[in-house]
Amino acid sequence: MDDFEQDSRSGYAYLGGYLEIDRRGVPRHRYHTEKSSGSDECRAALARVLRSERPLDRQLREMLADMLEPEERRESPWGSGKLTAGNRDRTRPRDAHANTHMAWFVWKRAREGVGTEGAIQEAMDTFGVSRERMYDLLKAHKPAFEAIEGRPMRRKGRG
């Protein structure tokens, strides 16, 4: 069994639970408790499967769909779990849209020829954020922008 297949099995265990034999020898359906090492390992494995280039198998696709349904499907063989979206941190949540907007502003202005430093300064003046914050945002978003645009960010004085 290769790593992808092992990761897929861990994804099944996370989404559909697993069987545990109790002290009387009776199989019981269980789920990993949230934030446990088993849960974290299975979630990481499932993320690797979803990010891989290999196609998602039908069972994982059905398990994910069942967990996202607003109403439980009684005919589902995968149990009655559900996935919900929420903030990872209880403090002020990261605003991905604002961060992407500010990073894109810098990217676009640098591509227009004002240079990275000039674009950063414009962003600082426009959005009221620190130089360090803008460089951090640009660094985080640059690989995605380069992949989307298909070319690296233009440097001042270069075409």
Task: Give the residue extent of every domain in the chain.
Answer: 3-68, 96-149
- pLDDT of 128: 93
* Residue 150, helix vs strand vs coil: coil
Structure tokens at 94: 């990261």
Q: At residue 41, does pLDDT exceed 60?
A: yes
Greatest mean pLDDT among 36-40, 77-81, 123-127 lies in 123-127
Q: At residue 120, does pLDDT exceed 70?
A: yes
Q: What is the pTM of this model?
A: 0.55
CA dist 50 to 44, 45, 53, 103, 158, Å?
10, 9, 8, 26, 38
Q: What is the pLDDT of residues 54-112, one digit of tens each?
A: 999 998 998 888 888 878 777 777 666 677 666 666 666 678 899 999 999 999 999 89
Instruction: Give the C-alpha separation, 18 to 147, whole Å.
Output: 39
- pLDDT of 80: 67
Residues 6+ apart with CB under 8 A from 45: 6, 7, 8, 10, 11, 14
Percent of the chain at pLDDT exceeding 90: 44
Give the chain's mean pLDDT: 85
